[in-house]
Amino acid sequence: MAKALVLIEQKEGNIKKASLEVVATLKANGYQVSTICFGDNLSGSSSKLASQAGDQGAETLYLVNDSSLKFYQPDTYKETIAKSFAEGGYTLIAGAATALVKDLFPTLAIKLEAGLVTDCIDFKTEGSSVVVKRPNLAGKYFTTVKVKSPKAALSLRPNVFKLQAPSGKAANIVEQSAAKDSTKTKVAAVEGNTQSARPDLTEAERIVSGGRSLKSGENFKILEELADAIGAAVGASRAAVDAGFVPHGMQVGQTGKTVNPNLYIACGISGAIQHLAGMKTSKIIVAINTDPEAPIFQKADYGAIGDLFQVVPALTQEFKKLLSQG
């Protein structure tokens, strides 16, 4: 049986759903799956992490708990994973297609001499080879890639792959030391609202996004009220980010984050190609815009031609009413 190692990301002692999707997918495709997790305060949550990973089919959880790992450290991650990968006899390293993995995996693949394919939306095996599908040119066409190298490195797009029914089995915890001898760079701080109670954009099932029509960062509060009512994340177009309304971490699009929620509500977003590249695979798209000719309506499943400052608060109130009845 082929062996795979999955880099899992955790937040406040819980494994992110996108990472669990990777574990479940590899297990469903016949791999013996192990996981590796980094952090600076994992001792108290180790049992929960092992249970969450085990529920999706992981047999082992390498726990790298070190005071130097409060923030993501690329060199330490690379060297530690490479050591575990080699010692464990793994042929595949995988993770969710997050900002962290997008930064880490190219250099990690070089270190492992592994074939790298990113942002995969389909996965299967043919004999000893991995076969994946990925979008190209912002989703204008798709490529099926067969990895023929003995080792492979893959990132899987969040919210595309399914979780499995919980197995009830916990992964076996193995304490792993962090490799520090070759550290060349160090992340000392992370700016931005990292403590938001809202879900991460890349793994959110519902997203409310705003464009330049919001006119100011202060006006994003009406989107936040709608998002909080339905348990959604808040995103933005490049125009809103370039105008300084919100930070780049909220940007959805070709030069921002690629999202794949069940529901995407675009408020005051025209639907430029750059933005569509990051969200057009959303299951249901709702557009709110005063311009009936806006390109976003060509991709939307539902549309409201009107002023977002009137439509969004009305939607918020209706959602609150519906949810209070449930």
Which pLDDT tens digit goes with each residue over 196-215? 678 889 889 999 999 999 99
The structural domains of the chain, with segments of one domain joined by +, span: 3-175, 201-325
39-56 average pLDDT score: 95
List pLDDT tens digits, range 112-134.
Answer: 999 999 999 999 999 889 999 99
How confident is the model at residue 190, as a pLDDT? 76
How confident is the model at residue 326, as a pLDDT? 65
Same fold, 3-175 and 201-325: yes
How confident is the model at residue 181, as a pLDDT? 66
Indicate if the pLDDT at residue 166 is higher than 80.
yes
How confident is the model at residue 128, as a pLDDT? 84
269-298 average pLDDT score: 95
Torsions phi, psi for 295 (to 5 deg): -60, -25
What are 134's two structure tokens? 């990925």
29-45 average pLDDT score: 95
Whole-angstrom CA distances from 238 to 241, 248, 280 are 5, 8, 15
Nearest one of 292, 80, 32 to 177, comparing CA atoms? 80
Indicate if the pLDDT at residue 50 is higher than 90.
yes
69-93 average pLDDT score: 96
Exposed/middle/buried for residue 172 (C-beta within 10 Å: 0-12, 13-18, 19+): middle
Indicate if the pLDDT at residue 184 is higher than 90.
no
Q: CA dihedral in degrees (286, 290, 293, 295; nearest 10)?
A: -40
CA separation for the pair 202, 233 (Å, rounded): 9
27-36 average pLDDT score: 97
Can you identify the CATH homologous superfamily of domain 3-175?
A: HUPs (3.40.50.620)
CB 27 within 8 A of CB 99: no
CATH assignment, 201-325: 3.40.50.1220
What are 92's two structure tokens? 């595949």
What is the number of other CB atoms lying within 10 angstroms of the CB of residue 263? 18
Q: What is the pTM (predicted TM-score) of this model?
A: 0.86
Per DSSP, which regions of the chain are E strands? 3-8, 10-11, 14-15, 32-39, 58-65, 92-96, 115-120, 122-126, 129-136, 141-147, 152-156, 172-175, 206-210, 233-236, 263-267, 284-289, 302-305
CA separation for the pair 285, 189 (Å, rounded): 36
How confident is the model at residue 320, as a pLDDT? 95
Bridge partners, 122 (sequence order):
133
List pLDDT tens digits, range 243-279.
Answer: 999 999 999 998 899 999 999 999 999 999 999 999 9
Tokens 């519906």 found at: 322
Nearest one of 155, 64, 166, 68 to 117, comparing CA atoms? 155
174-183 average pLDDT score: 83
90-113 average pLDDT score: 96
CA separation for the pair 141, 289 (Å, rounded): 28
- Which of the residue ranges 139-148, 187-196, 285-294 would you say has the lowest mean pLDDT? 187-196
CA separation for the pair 199, 207 (Å, rounded): 9
- The rounded percent of the chain whose pLDDT value lies above 90 is 83
How confident is the model at residue 192, as a pLDDT? 59
- Per DSSP, the residues of 52-109 read HHHHTTEEEEEEEE-GGGSS--HHHHHHHHHHHHHHHT-SEEEEES-HHHHHHHHHHH
